[in-house]
Structure formats: structure tokens, C-alpha cells
Amino acid sequence: MSVHSGRGGSPDVEKQMDVKTESITEDTEPQVSKPLMAVFSAGAVIAVFMASIQAVIPASFFVQAVAPWGVDTSSLWMLAAYLIGYVAFILPTQRLADIFGHFVTFWLGLILFVVFTGVAGHAATAYTFAVLRAFQGIGAGMVTSVCVQMAGAHVSERNRSLLVGALAAAQLFGIGAAHIVGGALAVDDKFRWSIYLAAPIAALPAILCTPALIKDMVIREHSESFVQRVLKFDGIGTLLLFGAAIMLTSGLTFGGNEHKWSSAIVLCLIVFGSLCVVLFLVWDSFGASRPIFNSRWLKERNLQISMLAVLLISMAFFANAVYVPIMYITVRHNTTDVAGRMTAPYWGVSMGAAVIAGLVIRIRPAVARPVAWAGLAIGAVFSGLYYTIETETTSLAKERAFYALAGLGVGLAYPAVLYMAQTSVPRNERGSAACVAHFLSVVGGMLGLILYQACLKSRLIINLDPIFSQSKFLTSFDIRAMDIAGLEVSGGTITMYVPDLAPKIGEGMTNALHTTFMLSVPFLGAALLATLLYKRSHH
């Protein structure tokens, strides 16, 4: 864990502690054996895949409107409920592991995840489903937090890039494959099994990670009693972070969907959520006896740049993997599983690129920066080119090729910036850095989903409202009050009853989709500009 300056430490003392921290090497720290870590890393990769696919999979049957709950409840809220619990417990789990140890914390999270997977899949209403999914997300956050923290702390420097590449590929695979798996089960009216399938998958991390966690219990040396560690738990920081996650996610989810952006409830949630973030950062830097963020990290330029890049890249790839299938669902009238297969080039190529990037960086660590630059440039350029293509009814080859190249860029850049984040801090803090990067990747995913859906709905309203006003039948639909899933599905249904307006409706929906998806270009472009400021040398 991090070495902290504490309250009121002098600059000389902090400098001496920094020097001492930087002198720590792999040989001076108690380590889990390499075979155990190899097995543990495999379990960590599966855990990240499991948590990622569960984050997105409800969208596959809510967009298709096959669930018994219909589309009267926001499909985005079904994702956000899980992600709130997920992201709110990633960082506090570091402190829980200080008290209970990695083994107990991991198994507590795994039990929560499996139990609420079962009860959420059996939920009778959409609102019950959302609440239970939040607890499922808490379990996922605890499990993945322990996995990435342990792996980042104990993996050898030689194999670090391989681990980072595998974890990045697992996250990309889980998010991208959700529409295929969930859509296929939804078509067969077995949508509940898209939730239930997480339980057997969870058995693999349990089997693979437990031996290393038991060994970690043996080698961990505690200089304090259990009671002392409990008393030093950063409860204030945890509550501030938890409150910020709930308020910001809720405000950004409700805004533009259930409530207007100018409504009092949305503004209050966003303002007070932002205030909690500021208070958390102030408390963590100056008041906490055991801060989650090490104050010295604020001076590490490469670390800060990497964390910003992780946030921006995840905003793009989460939203692309989730919402590009909507283009195939609405414009081409495909089912969700078919639409998911149409987007396989994006996440399939990005997976392979992530693994290749890890291998290349393992051979030559110095190429991490150029790999990040090349990936972000490729991703930004081909994302822009892909979204300017007019949809063709005869051939998908051109747009799928450009989509695959956009995925290539993301797959190269994502593990490279994750590697830079971990190697920008001293050896004994790399587990914490890995955990914070994972936290920001999920935060970025939430922001990407929220921004894309808000933009998509606003563009659909702007484009379809004038068309709907031309028909007496269509004026009965209140576009502004419709959930985004209803807007996505309504185009194909309405054209059956008003065929003369079908071309205009299709054109308006396509324009809304293309305009929305262009958001990935500024996201990846901003990440590229930030990474150009990397210093040549880092820890």
C-alpha cells in the first residue's frame, strides 16, 4: 500500500520517506510466488471480464424491449444502478483490505456478487431489478478491486505489461460481447439467463485466485492490532466518495431522461456531487490519516496524464461498444444479437491489439509512449471516418473495416497508458495505482454512456419532432417524454403505419446516431494531446 506523509509532516521528512519508498525493490518485499501469481492473474482477468459483461448486458434486452418490464423504465438506469455500486466500492475496498485482508475482502465481494446475481435475475419489476443490480455491482467492485490491486502489487516488472494487456483485453471483450450474449438469450425469451450466467463464471476467479490470497494472508505483516486498524479506517473519505458517486451518477442519468437538465433535482445532484468530490480531495490530501490517494501522486506528471487518458479512452470505448449496435438495430432492423455480431470487428480487433501491445511493451518498455500515441491517433482518425459513412443496404465491408481500425487504435492505446500509470509510481504503490486506474476506467465508462445517450436523445428529438408534427397519428407520441429505448425502437415500428414518412424518419435517426458517435473523436483526440506531455523518464 501507499506510504503516506501523515498530518503535519515536514518537507524534509516527506523527502526522506520518498527516497525510502523509491528504494524498495521487488527483492526486499515479501512476494507471492510466480506460479501462484500467474494463476491469480488468470483469475483476475476472468473477474474483470465477468464484471464488465454484467455491466452492459441488460442493455441488450432492454433496447430490444423483450423483458416483461417493457421500456417504461430507462435502459440506461439499468446499467447505471450496477455501475454506481461497482464504482463506489473500488477504492474503499483498498481500506477494507487493510482491515480484513485481501482474502476475506475478496470472498465477501464474491459472495455478494453471486447472491445478488441470482436474486436480480429473478426480479419481478424493473425497479427491484435496478436495486438488486446495485448490490451486485458492489460485489463486482470489491472483487475486481482486490484482483487488480494484488496483481499490480505482486506481478514481476518483466510481466507487468502482459498483465495490463490481458486485463485491458478482458474489459474490452466483456463490454463488447454483452450484446451478442444478452441479445441471443433475449431472442429465445431467456433474458434472465444473461444475468444468471455470471454465477458459474464467478467460480473460476474463486478457484484461481484463492491460493494466492491464502499465501498473501501468511506473508502480510501487521504492526497494528485489528482494533487500531479499524479506528484508522478513513470513514469520512469513504462516505464523501460514495456520496459523490451516487449523486453524480444519478444526476447525469436523470438529466435529459426522466427530468430536464434545468430541473432542481438534477442541478442539486450534480452540484452537491461535485462538492463531495472537492471535499474528498481536500480531506484526502490534508485531513485523512490514511488517504486513499497519496499526495505525492499529484506531483507525478506521467501518472496524472495516464489517469486522464484512461478516463477519456474508457468514455469512448464503453459508449461505442454499447451504442453502435443501436445503429444496426434501428436503421437495419436487426435483432440485438445480430447487431452485436456486426460490431465484433471493433472489440475483437481491440482485444487482439491490447494483447499485442502488452507483448511489445514487455520486449521494449520504452515504446509504451509511442504505442499510446499511435493508438490514440489511429482511434481518433478512424472513429471520425467511420461515423461519416452513409449506411449502405448492400455492403457493410467499408464501415466494418473502419470500425475495426478504430478498435485497433483503442486496443493499442489503452494498455499502454495503463502501463504508464503503474510505472510512474514507486514499486510498492503500483497496486494502488492499478486500482485507481480501474476506478477511473469504470467512471469513464459511466460518463461515456451517459453523455452518448443524452446526446442521442436530444438529437432524436430535434430531428424527429418536426417530422412527427406532420402526421395526426404521430402527434399522439410525446417524444420528449419517451425513454431512449422507446425512441430507438419506435422508428421501425412507426414507419409501418406511416410509410410515406419512413424515409425522413430513417434519415433523422441515422443523422442522430452519426452525430452522437462523433463524440469519440474529441475524447480520443484530447487523450492524445494529453499524452504528448509525457516526460521521457519515469519511475
Q: Provide the CA 508 distance to its chain's centre, in angstroms.
A: 30
Alpha-carbon distance of 90 to 245, in angstroms, equals: 11
pTM of the shown model: 0.81
Q: Is the pLDDT of residue 73 over 60?
A: no
Q: Which amino acid is at 476?
A: S
Write the CB contacts of 314 (distance below 8 Å, at least 6 apart in sequence).
Answer: 414, 440, 441, 442, 443, 444, 445, 448
**Sorting pLDDT into bands at 50, 70 and 90, what band is 500?**
confident
For domain 31-233+290-461+515-531, say whether CATH 2.60.40.10 is its number: no
Q: What is the pLDDT of residues 244-296, one digit of tens each?
A: 877 887 777 667 666 777 888 888 888 998 898 889 888 877 777 767 666 67
Q: Is the pLDDT of residue 15 over 50?
A: no
Predicted pLDDT of residue 24: 34
Concatenating the DSSP letter of every residue in 377-442 gives HHHHHHHHHHTTSPP-SS--HHHHHHHHHHHHHHHHHHHHHHHHHHTTS-GGGHHHHHHHHHHHHH
Q: Provide the CA 530 distance to its chain's centre, in angstroms.
A: 20
Residue with cell 485489528: 226
Alpha-carbon distance of 378 to 76, in angstroms, equals: 29
Q: Is the pLDDT of residue 21 over 50?
A: no
Lowest mean pLDDT among 69-73, 157-161, 234-238, 474-478: 69-73
All three cell numbers of 391: 449506411
Higher pLDDT, 2 or 52: 52
32 and 312 in contact (C-beta within 8 Å)?
no
89 and 142 in contact (C-beta within 8 Å)?
yes
% of the chain beyond a pLDDT of 90 = 27
Q: Is 255 helix (H, G, I), strand (E, B) or coil?
A: strand
Higher pLDDT, 497 or 311: 311
Q: How many residues does the chain have?
A: 539
Ranges of each domain in the chain: 31-233+290-461+515-531, 235-289
Write the CB contacts of 255 (distance below 8 Å, at least 6 apart in sequence).
Answer: 261, 263, 266, 270, 454
Write the CB contacts of 511 (distance below 8 Å, at least 6 apart in sequence).
Answer: 459, 463
- On average, the pLDDT of the chain sits at 78
Q: Provide the CA 467 distance to its chain's centre, in angstroms.
A: 36
Concatenating the DSSP letter of every residue in 99-153 gives HH-HHHHHHHHHHHHHHHHHHHHT-SSHHHHHHHHHHHHHHHHHHHHHHHHHHHH
Q: Which amino acid is at 315?
A: M
For 201, other C-beta atoms within 10 Å of its C-beta total 18
Write the CB contacts of 353 (distance below 8 Å, at least 6 apart in sequence).
Answer: 375, 407, 408, 409, 410, 411, 412
Q: How far is CA 398 from CA 316, 348, 388, 392, 395, in A?
A: 21, 17, 11, 9, 8
As a whole number of Å, the end-to-end CA separation of the chain is: 17
513 and 327 in contact (C-beta within 8 Å)?
yes
400 and 388 in contact (C-beta within 8 Å)?
no
At 519, give phi and psi (nearest 5°): -60, -25
SS3 per residue for 340-373: HHHCHHHHHHHHHHHHHHHHHHHHCHHHHHHHHH
413 and 306 in contact (C-beta within 8 Å)?
no
Predicted pLDDT of residue 520: 85
Report which secondary-structure segment, H or E, holds 46: helix 34-56
Sign of the dihedral through C-alpha 48, 54, 56, 57:
positive
Q: Is the pLDDT of residue 63 over 60?
A: no
All three cell numbers of 414: 489503452
Report which secondary-structure segment, H or E, holds 493: helix 484-497
Predicted pLDDT of residue 157: 83
Q: What is the pLDDT of residues 296-332, one digit of tens each?
A: 776 788 888 999 999 999 988 887 777 666 666 655 5
Listed residue (176, 83, 132, 48) closest to 450, CA to CA: 83
Q: What is the pLDDT of residues 365-410, one digit of tens each?
A: 999 999 999 999 999 998 877 666 655 555 567 777 888 898 899 9
**Highest mean pLDDT (candidates 2-6, 78-82, 176-180, 410-414):** 410-414
Q: How far is CA 67 from CA 174, 182, 190, in A?
A: 21, 11, 9
Predicted pLDDT of residue 509: 75
Q: How far is CA 412 from CA 43, 180, 399, 449, 510, in A?
A: 23, 24, 20, 22, 29
